[in-house]
Chain A
Amino acid sequence: MKRLAILFTCLSLVGVVSARERGEDKTGRLTGSFETNSIYYVEDNKTAAIVPEDNFGSNNYLKLDYYRGKFSAGVQMEGYLPVLQGYPTNLSKVGLTNYYASWVDDSFSITAGTYYEQFGSGLLFRSYEDRTLGMNSALMGARFTYNYKDILGVKAIWGMPRLGMEFSDTQVRGGDISFAISNLAGWTKTLFAIEGSVLNRYEVISADLKEEGGKPTSTGFSGRVNFEHKGFIVKAEYIDAGERHYPNGGYDGVNDPRIDLIKNGNAQLIEVGYSGHGLGVNVTARRLEYMDMPIVYRNTSTANALNYIPALTAQYSYLLTNLNPYIVQPSTMLGSYCGPGEIGGQVDIYYNVARRTKLGGKRGMKLGLNYSTYYSLVKDRSAKANNLLWQSVNFTLEKQFTRKFKLNFLYSFQEYNDSHGVNNYTWKSNIFVADMLYKWTPTISTRLELQYLYSKHDKKDWMAALAEVNFAPNWSIFASDMYNHGQTKIHYYNAGVSYTKSRTRIQLSYGRNRAGVVCSGGVCRNIPAYTGANLMITTSF
């Protein structure tokens, strides 16, 4: 910590002195952003909505950054007064959570304090912020990066990851190197690069775990290849995540005396794509085995992750398409069930039907198709598929019919395994969405969404509608209702208004929300049912 303070001070001094020498940028500049998300919760017997003490929750973020030439420094303050329901409960009170000083030169950079970083796709290591999830895994420590022309890039990191309002005692050290062979060889039409990372994680472990053969230090590796030629892209990544520990759900002290399970994590990822002539195609395949990488062992917070393992499926933004989203299985530990992970993939095809063709008409048309499927793994060190975890087919059509009218249509078939692979029973649903935009004048428009979900499983059929009236560029008013007429007969209504001026946006809404999962970037967290008024303000300067 002391070393860090010294580095921090040195960087600050260098920044001030050098800016003065150049005589430019005399005052530097300060930029920042502020966000508040507050909910007033009310009782609701219909949904058994959760109501915290004081009926109130509020998440607040203030971020300030100061730039002066190549020097920058910044802070982030967060206030949970108290934290909103469904967010990690270790977020509490007001605190100065992140602070850094950094020097970014043409070929190198030094950062001291908190920083975010990602190696490759993030499967081995990613520290990041996602406010929708209550996630902030910034490292407190130091980072050094160096690049030689556009040929070689090197990163070295050291730090302690943030969990909740504090930095954990877990220590992370790592390095990443990327080597663009095509740039060295002077190829202009082809990109070919090889990359590699190493990540070392240290955490004090219990005497029991030590006795069982567990080690406090584990080291993971990642090797990657990137290739691009005339619109064709190939990316491949192999990860050996090193030793992983899991609480043994089958422990009974007699037949199974192991308190912890010791496993080896690994993953493989391949992406192949093509884009050109109005066609975009992307195919991804991935296998995961014991890839959970917690910041702190046996901590159950959703933000407790040192890597990034998203569900590789289509992400939906319509109400009824998000009732049962796929939850990625880097391993499946449910009671005594121990599943090593998942295998699967997805295909995305986008096509732009050109203007003035038979199918495209005067204004053209956009088509999209996505298919994804995932299976649990039969056993450790196997790529054999066991039970179906998820399958979906999505078709989208987007067409501007006249100057004033635009239609987006979506059909989605989803098959979901609620047991996460423990058994092979699945729920199937068919979802239809028509999203229509009509412009009355250049600035006044109406948007109407009509949705229907047909299913014989879970809560059976649903319907939903959303209407929005926009007065560009400042005002927007909306109302929506989601109704489960197949079983519960509950209406989930929501209405609100938003005002936007320059970089400030204020939104006030009131509604009933169902218990379920909220996902962002393919990572999900559970939320309880709640009803109430929500005020959101975001601004930046």
Chain B
Amino acid sequence: MQKIKTIFLMVVAVVVAFSAQAQLPSVKLENRKGELVNTSSLVDGKTPIIISFWAVTCKPCIRELDAINDAMPDWLDEASFRVVAVSTDDSRFSAQARAWVEGHGWNDFTVLFDKNQEFMRAMNVSYTPQVFVVDKDGKIVYSHTGYTPGAEQELIDKIKSLK
């Protein structure tokens, strides 16, 4: 009986999910300086955002962000956008993550620290890496979990299609 209940709930969820387009939730996270930033304030009504959930212990996440960082100068010639890298590291690694960002030259990214995974849960991310493209009005228009080298091309293709 319980199993049937689970399946039923899932079906309902999927149906409703397709009828509504998700919006960026509002959660307060620390930035690199230690100040609190509300995630809903990331939406500025002008440019779309790539939001990438990562962790220092997640190798594919690092590969994805490095690939975005390397491609960024070329991509910015084609469209304007911002990159928000959300570190999901626990307090154990958040200090390391801060040093990591500098050592990897991710200076063009906005880095936020989600130390108790509140934003991660609100966005329903189970595992990193997961990346989202959010349009200028805060609507989630694309998402992808996992990373395979080359998959980053889909991000810029999506951003260009928003124009």
Contact = CB atoms under 8 A, between A and B. Distances in A.
Contacts of B56: 315
A79 B3 contact: yes
Contacts of B118: 116
A67 B151 CA distance: 31
**Interface bin, chain B:** 35 or more
A444 B124 contact: no
B17 to A, nearest CB: 4
A450 interface: no
A473 B98 contact: no
Q: Which of B20, B32, B124, B143 has the most CB of A within 10 A?
A: B124
A228 interface: yes
A113 B59 CA distance: 36
A418 interface: no
15 contacts: A27-B19, A30-B13, A62-B6, A63-B124, A94-B2, A233-B95, A279-B103, A350-B102, A351-B103, A352-B102, A505-B127, A540-B125, A541-B13, A541-B14, A541-B17
Given A278-B102, A500-B145, A502-B143, A29 B95 contact: no
Interface string B90-115: 11110110111111110000000001
Interface of A: 27-35, 60-65, 67, 77, 79, 93-95, 104, 116-118, 120-122, 126, 128-129, 131, 150, 153, 191, 193, 226, 228, 233, 235, 271, 273, 275-276, 278-282, 284, 308, 310-312, 315, 317, 348-352, 364, 366-368, 400, 437, 439, 441-445, 447, 470-476, 498, 500, 502-505, 521-522, 538, 540-541
Given A116-B121, A367-B103, A437-B149, 19 more contacts: A30-B17, A33-B125, A63-B124, A94-B3, A150-B35, A150-B36, A228-B34, A273-B99, A280-B102, A310-B91, A348-B96, A366-B104, A442-B150, A445-B148, A498-B146, A500-B146, A502-B143, A505-B146, A540-B126
A5 B13 CA distance: 24
A476 B3 CA distance: 31
Interface string B113-152: 0011110011111110010000000000011111011110
B34 A226 contact: yes
A64 B148 contact: no
Nearest to A94: B2
Given A280-B98, A541-B14, A67 B25 contact: yes
Interface string B24-38: 011000001111100
A-B interface, 7 closest residue pairs, ranked by CB to CB distance from nearest: A350-B103, A280-B99, A472-B150, A473-B151, A280-B102, A310-B92, A275-B102
Contacts of A538: 126-127, 145
A284 B6 contact: no
Contact of B92 (A116, A472, A502, A521): A521
Contacts of B25: 67
